[in-house]
Amino acid sequence: MATRRLTFVTGNANKLMETKYILSQGIPIEIDSQDLDIPELQGTTQEVAIAKSRRAAELLGRACITEDTALCYEAFGGLPGPYIKHFMKNIGHEGLNNLLVGFPTKDAYALCTFAYSAGPGAEPILFEGRTDGTIVPARGPPTFGWDAVFQPKGFDKTYAEMTKEDKNVISHRYRALDKLKAYLSTLPT
């Protein structure tokens, strides 16, 4: 099978590393990356993902993938959702826990939305992956975003405490990429 080449438009080195790792387990693919400055609109995760993908393909002038990650609190009807980046940056791990003081549930889910665009003007196709969990006081290395405060359901470790092999077979990103992989294998290389 010929090796597929695809550009991932992202400025996030950790996302890129995990994506390369997960995709390389399944199909012959080479991912390169472009860090383009793309404004992220307000809206649902799907609306944010579609707008980002459209713009990325226009700027790049060819097929690409983009990814949006949301962290959704059950107590807040799914917020912070796609705005988690700004919450994380401004209030950190402790703040992400403190937000939930007084609320009956600390349940949350991580939602990953990959968007594939075949090129400028093409309608983006979305691939979503969700992992359910709970928000806990930070444990594990603070290497990647909110990994240290997210404990997936059925595990006694946070994402940050897991090995990359363990996180990358249950994560929101893995679940979305599994669907993207199946779609890519239906396309000609």
DSSP annotation of 102 reads T
Among 144, 166, 170, 178, binds ligand CZF (CB under 6 A): 144
Q: Confirm or reject binding of residue 168 to ligand CZF (CB under 6 A).
A: no
68 is in an annotated binding site: yes
Q: Choose between 65 and 184: whose C-beta lies nearer to ligand CZF.
A: 65
User: Tokens representing 82?
Assistant: 């796609």
Q: Confirm or reject binding of residue 10 to ligand CZF (CB under 6 A).
A: yes
Distance, in Å, from the CA atom of 18 to the CA atom of 114, rounded to the nearest integer, reads 13
Q: Choose between 33 and 184: whose C-beta lies nearer to ligand CZF.
A: 33
- Binding segment for ligand CZF (CB under 6 A), chosen from 19-27, 82-90, 125-133, 178-186, is 82-90
Q: Confirm or reject binding of residue 128 to ligand CZF (CB under 6 A).
A: no
Q: Choose between 19 and 184: whose C-beta lies nearer to ligand CZF.
A: 19
163-185 exposure pattern, b = at least 16 Cβ within 10 A, e = fewer: eeeebbebbbbbbbbbebbeebe
Bridge partners, 131 (sequence order): 110
Distance, in Å, from the CA atom of 131 to the CA atom of 70, rounded to the nearest integer, reads 11
- Binding segment for ligand CZF (CB under 6 A), chosen from 5-13, 26-34, 95-103, 129-137, is 5-13
Among 145, 151, 152, 184, binds ligand CZF (CB under 6 A): 145
Alpha carbon 125 to its chain centroid, in Å, reads 15
CB of 160 to ligand CZF, least distance (A): 7
CA distances to 67, 130, 156, 178 from 162, rounded to whole Å, are 22, 17, 10, 20
**Residues at the annotated binding site?**
10-15, 40, 52, 68-69, 144-147, 167, 172-173
